[in-house]
A = this chain, B = another copy of it.
Amino acid sequence: MQFQLSDELIQNLEILIEEKNDAELLLLLEEVHPADIAEIITELDLDEATYIIKLLNSEKTAEALMELEEGVRERILDNLSSKEIAEELEEMDTDDAADIIAELSEERQQSVIAEIQDEEHADNIVELLRFDEDSAGGLMAKELVKVNENWSVTGCMAEMRAQAENVTRVHSIYVVDDKNKLKGRLSLKDLITAPSKANISDVYIPKVDYVNVHTPGDEVARIMQKYDLEAIPVVDEMGRLVGRITVDDIIDFIKDEADRDYQMAAGISEDVEADDSILKHTRARLPWLILALLGGFISVTVLGTFEGAMEQYGALFFFVPLIAAMAGNVGVQSSAIVLQGLANNTLRGSLMNRLVKEVGLSLLNGVVLAVMLTLGGTYLLGFDLIYGVTVGISLISVIVIASLIGTFVPIILDKQGIDPAMATGPFITTSNDIFGILIYFSIAKAILGF
């Protein structure tokens, strides 16, 4: 039953666009969901995409535009007049419209807003543009259903019918007083099961979760997830109901956050997509590579101080990348566990317990790997046993230290109020490389005596 994008469909559409066969195009796309229209548009070239957007009615294309990736959308909007963009915005919820407008140039914003016919809609959009995009104010939509606590259930049903026309989905009905202050909520279910003679003030639920326009987006996401909310009302500084945030926006927010964390761990500091420009990629990636290079300078220096070992124990240098790789991998593993624990708020117990556990875990792993390394180095690679034993003992120490660094650096950063997500990927691998090599050669020096 699901829509499937096929090369055949795209070719078919391209021919119809070429022929300007509007009737056939409309027929073909009539039953297609806007989210699927967005997928189709991404496959077409810019002129074809613009042709489709102009051909279909705004109700459908408005939603399709929202589903597009920012880069594709930007190019299409560049091809539309301010009036055409305004028509699309009229069909969107205020939060989506504000997000789109925010992507336009300052100048374009004004001319588009001036073209919006529905003045209240335009007002609402302008209001939303004032908030930081990652705050509750920036995430909320103005569309919601609210009733006055002094109304009757019957009167309320009538009013609801009118208001609900403008709201895509009714999650909760919010109850306000005469000053528009949020008093509580009411579900549609409560409303239809309430005696029709009752007053709203008799049946509403006075306990309602809400956030302030300035609440950060990740806090909103946390609250909505924790309490399984499908929508949350937003109040202003005076406690007046000014908007609501729905769960679909929060799903996008959660996905974006997860993508960002993943990229951060891979040493990518800006939100980039595969199709972004080389310059944007360089800006996101180069800083971390420079950090790794500077760390590399330190490891070169450290190795240089052990130059004296080269003549008699040159083979020690062959094991350097192995030791560095193990230190890096162990550090990344430990930091990933701690970072997820911090993010999901599941990190409990004292630091001492964590220390004992991490040392136990890394000793266990370290001994297994050291035995493999000693045996492998001696019998597989054919080095003298003394090398195998030396690198084996070093490996245990390196793994223990690397796992402690991976565990405690993020915890310490977090306690200092610094984003602990910094402490993974390139940062942890680079510092663990340096410490790993230093420990390795210090132990080798102690054992072999050079």
Chain A residues in the interface with B (C-beta under 8 A): 1-2, 31, 33, 35, 42-43, 67, 69, 157, 160-161, 164-165, 169-170, 187-189, 192-193, 207, 209-210, 223, 225-228, 230, 247-248, 250-251, 254-255, 258-259, 261-263, 265-268, 272-275, 278, 281-282, 285-286, 288-290, 292-293, 295-297, 299-301, 303-304, 307, 310, 314-315, 317-326, 328-330, 332-333, 335-338, 340-341, 344, 346-349, 354, 357, 360-361, 364-365, 368-369, 372-373, 376-377, 380-381, 424-426, 429-430, 433, 437
Contacts and interface: CB of A to CB of B under 8 A. Distances in A.
A161 B189 CA distance: 8
A440 B188 CA distance: 69
A85 to B, nearest CB: 22
B301 A381 contact: yes
A251 B255 contact: no
Given A226-B35, A266-B336, A361 B274 contact: no
Contacts of A31: 207
A433 B268 CA distance: 20
Nearest to A222: B2
A378 B332 CA distance: 32
Contacts of A292: 325-326, 329
B325 A69 contact: no
B318 A300 contact: yes
A255 B335 CA distance: 19
**Oligomer copy total:** 2
A381 to B, nearest CB: 6
B161 A267 contact: no
A33 B272 contact: no
5 contacts: A251-B251, A259-B344, A286-B365, A288-B329, A289-B329
A132 to B, nearest CB: 20
A189 B210 contact: no
Given A251-B251, A320-B321, A321-B299, A223 B293 contact: no
A1 B208 CA distance: 9
B373 A293 contact: yes
Contact of A329 (B297, B369, B426): B426
B248 A340 contact: no
A293 B357 contact: no
Most B C-beta atoms less than 10 A away, residue of A254, A329, A336, A338: A329
A67 to B, nearest CB: 8
